[in-house]
Amino acid sequence: MPIEINWQLLMPELVIALTLIIVLIFDMFDSISKTILGWLTIVGAGIALWVSIQMQQAGTVGTQFNDMFKVDSFSLFFNIIFLISTILVALISLSYLGKDDRKQGPYYLLILLATLGMMLMAAGNELIVVFLGLELMSLSLYVLAGYFRDNPVSSEAGMKYLLLGAFASAFFLYGIALIYGGAGTTSIPGIASNLTAESQSPLLLGGMFLLIVGFGFKVAIVPFHQWAPDVYEGAPTTIAAFISAGPKAAGFAAFLRIFMEALPAMQSQWGDVIILLAMLTMTVGNVIAIAQTNIKRMLAYSSIAHAGYVLIGLAAANNEGISSVMLYLLVYCVMNIGAFGAVILAKTTDGECLTISDYAGLGFRKPLLGLFMTLMLLSLAGFPPTAGFVGKFYIFKSAVQAGHTWLVIIGAINTAISAFYYLRVVVTMYMREPEEELEFSPYPSTLVVGLILAVIGVLFIGILPSLLLNSVQNSVL
Amino acid sequence: MSLGLIVVLLISPFAGFLINGLFGKWLKGKEKLSGWISALAVFVSFACSIIAFTSVRGGGGMSGDEGILYEWIKGESFAFNIGFHVDALTTVMLLVITGVGFIIHVYSIGYMHGDSGYTRYFAYLNLFVFAMLILVLGNNYLMMFVGWEGVGLCSYLLIGFWYEKQSATDAGKKAFIVNRIGDFGFLLGMFTLFAAFGSLDFTTIFDSADAGNFQQIFGASTLVIATLLLFVGAVGKSAQIPLYVWLPDAMEGPTPVSALIHAATMVTAGVYMIARSAVLYELAETGEVVAWIGVLTAFFAATIALAQNDIKRILAYSTVSQLGYMFVGVGVGAYASGIFHLVTHAFFKGLMFLTAGSVMHAMANELDMRKMGGLRAKMPITHWTFLVGAMAIAGVPFLSGFWSKDEILHSAWAISPVIYGIGLITAFLTAFYMFRLIFVTFYGESRVESGVASHLHESPPVMWVPLAILAIPSALIGLLLGWGGHNSWFHHFTEHVFPKAHGEASGNMLVFMGISSVVGLAGIAFAWIRYRERVPAAEPTHALHKLVANKYYIDEVYNAVIVQPIKNGSHYLLWRILDTGIIDGIVNGVAAAIRLIGGTLRRLQTGLVQAYIVSMVVGIVLFLAYYLFVR
């Protein structure tokens, strides 16, 4: 059966695929400076971003490949999140890897592959496609986490991530199999139409739980989170930023699509679990983050806690909830990459500043760095007028609307707890005297550009949320 | 008038702040450029303010929905907008802020010459103007609060500008903490209004309040409580009894800052707030409280100013006292008169602070007037401009202060003759202490130390030109805008903004003017008799003098009654017993417990992959168990 392919619908994915082929080809010539690969990635992702925005504005909708691949404003909005994350990560990577790293070809290649996987996840209209996207993304990330293979910590992170990730993927696949057994199909609209309130078999229920486990691992929900701190700490800092941003958003994109489109009839079953997971994830993430002395580990636990906030919006399970989750994920990606970028900026001649006490007095000695770090942390903590406040506000609002007032109260308490460890870094930077004089490397200009973009994003969404909000509210499923 | 104009007006100083703040390093060698950029930024705002002013004069303006720039956040039953309210009151404030602000920026270019924090200074100053513009432009209490906190922050940063000096950082902290008390009141007032009206927009609140259409959350006294809480905020920001103590100390900042923030603009924010909320104060009938606090502050601060020898401190107490007059004005319902005094005061007090700065500039930062004397010969422009300012504040007929102060006193008479009486005595004291300052500083024998005397010189043009420019409105603006008392141009211009004043026009205006003139001139004459050739004694001569010279020991009383108990309380009770004993005990106990549990839990986070997998499986089993057995 010949398949009619609508190439226009696939434009963003095609651009990324083309970019990664170009990167692959350029990487073969040793005479070309390797930094060009990073720039190619940025340009390619930039074009794909522009295309996605155009398509999103035009309201493009359509399916492809026998309904397995669905383009709608929802998937396009997530494309925008992924591509922004990719661009920012590539920007902060340029200086991090440096000119002399000969093997950075695979680095950008894998980043692009992972991005393609995320886009497949958001657009998958079929559990198998979602799984393929998930694996494409995850496999690339496993390698990236172990990118510094001479460094045992990095290798360990990659290996650990691979083993645990494979385990989680198995659960996920098993879940798909059970759902297929219960519903007779793996197509998302198909499941929804085969599934009525009466026809719920234990198979479906079991499949649903295993899907939650699979996603729970990918987006680091307690109790499936334990890989996150180890991997974030060991992986290259740029990759930690990458893993904490786009893939998490992709996991939630598929999570939303499957649970809101395929399994809405079972909301009474999964709703409670999500609420419970939200509370657990926020609380555990924030409480353990307090005890951290390593800033990368602290950010890892903070990103676990943020997954908990996102679950609040998911638990609301209304249009408001979906749009607030989408807004939050965009905001979260920008500010989290920004925070990791600031960590990279705090580079001494002996390596990165990773212990929080190393930041003492930095606010005055390195005002630009202090400003970046402070803004990102304030946004993560959710202070107005930053984007973090707007994001949290709408998440909480959707939950109140859905009647989950208690969940919001717990969320607010958690926000207060989180302010403690975020502000502690700010206090250390501005109010503590440094114990030893550290020699700082000069700022790399690409990194500063990346951070300025993140700052603009955080302040722009914080001060002028309405522009973005309208676009998000039109993109709900 | 378009929204675009207001946006440009608002953003321009912010752009100046960004340029000076972010590119300060590159501007380091070119301090003139840095200063002029920031002055230009304010000038752009000034130009926009003039356009806005002419538009309002022509019947234009902006209120309610038309002023909304965009919606910030929105909930089910409420929405917070970023929007502007532009009417006669706003444009008057805009002109004062940007006009006086621009002149002071120019003056600062000369005054701050050679300071190592030059670009930082101009960045803060621009940021201050931006915050102040938000405060007066906002069409809701939330934006007002944002500006309110913003100016507080800039004030703190600029008071402590020379942070190497212990006294400067202390003064900054004092201002910040005292303002915190007031701001807390303001915040509570805002909450009360929001709870009662479900909105913070001016138009919504004022319309509903007029119609009596709001939640009586505190019964009949809802508005009384709301307005009094807001007034607590004003008492803090505008340095009234009992929260005035921060303002005299705030003189540790650079002198142009004292002129701009601590005389002309920020400290008048409280007066502006009450004038803006006039509808509420009328309905709640709490104006009398405002007026009484105002008049007592005016009198009290004036007496302290009698016995000070530090030029800037005299001016600071004089500012507190004049702010008191403004509160009398808005308190007795003569809102236009209160705002009119705000305007004239901005000019003459700004002028006097700048001249004081000019004196400091020449005297190597000396502030004690006992070490001056006879400066008039060496600094003629400074002397003449100061004289104009002093005559304006003393109420010499036809100068600006005469008109505005007289209107306030006249209106006060209708409400309470006692307030009028105290106000009149204060007017006498004002004239006396101001001219005491003049005679001791500029007249008589020179007591300048020989090392300083050789450098004594008039300030450079970039400093004296602003003085000369400010002297003109200080002298004439009262006559131009205030001729005719309650029928003056200023009253007509602002008549649509305020509810009909209830305390006006009783008794013959000319009689009141006559009495005021005599009192003011008597104060000057008395100062002439006493200080023409005499120097204030080095030590206070008798008990009363000592009491006043030591500012009634209020700082000491606060220290003993509030600061020390809090300090001791927090040290012994909170820290030693509660914190170290109980809380630390609990915390340490919890910590020990957590360490104990953590010792166990840590095995889960060992980094062992098997352990992680086990914990995942346990998680799954627990969830399934919950689902199967608990639900």
Distance from C-alpha of A121 to C-alpha of B63, rounded to nearest angstrom: 49
Could you tell me the residue ranges of all domains in chain A?
Answer: 266-477
- In chain B, the residue whose alpha carbon lies closest to the alpha carbon of A463 is B72
Name the minimum distance, in Å, from the CA of A82 to any CA of chain B. 25
- B609 contacts A164? CB cut-off 8 A: yes
- B interface with A, Cβ–Cβ < 8 A, is 70-73, 75-76, 604-605, 607, 609, 612-613, 615-616, 618-620, 623-624, 626-627, 631
Peptide bond into A223 cis (omega under 30): yes
Q: Which of A223, A276, A464 is the closest to B616 by Cβ?
A: A223
Is pLDDT at B295 greater than 90 in this prediction?
Answer: yes
- In chain B, the residue whose alpha carbon lies closest to the alpha carbon of A385 is B72
Distance from C-alpha of B335 to C-alpha of B343, rounded to nearest angstrom: 12
Cβ contacts of residue A2 below 8 Å, gap of 6+?
none
Q: Which among A419, A462, A415, A416 has a CA at the least distance from the CA of A308?
A: A415
Alpha-helical (H) ranges within B443-582 are: 450-453, 461-482, 489-494, 509-531, 543-549, 554-558, 564-568
A contact residues 350-409, partner B, Cβ 8 Å cutoff? 390, 393-394, 397, 401
Low-confidence ranges of chain A (pLDDT < 70): 1-3, 197-200, 477
Distance from C-alpha of A448 to C-alpha of A452, rounded to nearest angstrom: 6
φ/ψ of B492, rounded to 5, equals -65, -40
- What is the ipTM metric for this complex? 0.74
Tell me the pTM. 0.83
- B75 contacts A160? CB cut-off 8 A: no
Inter-residue contact B330 to B287 (CB < 8 Å): yes
- Supply the pLDDT for residue B321: 93
- B76 contacts A230? CB cut-off 8 A: no
Give the distance, in angstroms, between the CA of residue B64 and the centroid of all CA atoms in the same chain: 27
Name chain B contacts of A401, Cβ cutoff 8 Å.
76
Percent of chain A at pLDDT exceeding 70: 98
Element spanning B69, H or E: strand B68-74
Q: How confident is the model at residue B558 (pLDDT cuts 50, 70, 90)?
A: confident
φ/ψ of B134, rounded to 5, equals -60, -40
What are B270-293's pLDDT values in tens digits?
999 999 999 999 888 888 899 999
Is pLDDT at B601 greater than 60 in this prediction?
Answer: no
| Terminal-to-terminal C-alpha distance of chain A | 31
- Supply the pLDDT for residue A439: 77
Inter-residue contact A74 to A475 (CB < 8 Å): yes
- B618 contacts A226? CB cut-off 8 A: no
| A–B interface: beta-carbon pairs under 8 A | 57
Distance from C-alpha of B265 to C-alpha of B280, rounded to nearest angstrom: 23
Give the distance, in angstroms, between the CA of residue A219 and the centroid of all CA atoms in the same chain: 8
User: Three-class SS of residue A197?
Assistant: coil
Mean pLDDT of chain B: 85
Inter-residue contact A378 to A458 (CB < 8 Å): no
Q: Which of A226, A273, A390 is the closest to B73 by Cβ?
A: A390
Q: Which of A164, A272, A465 is the closest to B73 by Cβ?
A: A465
What are A430-461's pLDDT values in tens digits?
877 777 777 778 888 889 999 999 999 999 99
- A393 contacts B607? CB cut-off 8 A: no
Q: Which among A173, A323, A154 has a CA at the least distance from the CA of A240?
A: A154
Q: Which of B73, B604, B631 is the closest to A226 by Cβ?
A: B604
**CA separation, residue B284 to residues A276, B141, B275 (Å):** 49, 18, 14
- Supply the pLDDT for residue B161: 87
Strand pairing report for A351-352 and A347-348: antiparallel
What are B502-529's pLDDT values in tens digits?
545 566 778 888 888 898 899 998 888 8
φ/ψ of B363, rounded to 5, equals -95, 20
Cβ contacts of residue B560 below 8 Å, gap of 6+?
none
φ/ψ of B217, rounded to 5, equals -70, -25
- Determine the residue type at A335: M
Name chain A contacts of B618, Cβ cutoff 8 Å.
223
Distance from C-alpha of B575 to C-alpha of B611, rounded to nearest angstrom: 42
Name chain B contacts of A463, Cβ cutoff 8 Å.
72
- B619 contacts A224? CB cut-off 8 A: yes
- Supply the pLDDT for residue B606: 62
Which residue of B10, B11, B70, B73 to mutate against A (max A Cβ within 10 Å)? B73
Distance from C-alpha of B438 to C-alpha of B353, rounded to nearest angstrom: 13
Q: Which among B202, B225, B228 has a CA at the least distance from the CA of B215?
A: B225
For helices B88-111 and B335-362, angle between their N-to-C axes, nearest 10 degrees: 0
Residue with tokens 């794909």: A48
- B73 contacts A223? CB cut-off 8 A: no
Cβ contacts of residue B270 below 8 Å, gap of 6+?
B231, B233, B234, B235, B236, B237, B238, B240, B323, B327
**CA separation, residue A236 to residues A157, A232, A446, B20 (Å):** 10, 8, 17, 36
Cβ contacts of residue B532 below 8 Å, gap of 6+?
B439, B443, B444
Is pLDDT at B603 greater than 60 in this prediction?
Answer: no
- In chain A, the residue whose alpha carbon lies closest to the alpha carbon of B79 is A466
DSSP one-letter code for A352:
E
**CA separation, residue B528 to residues A452, B313, B389, B444, B586 (Å):** 62, 21, 17, 11, 69
Q: Which among A445, A296, A453 has a CA at the least distance from the CA of A359?
A: A296
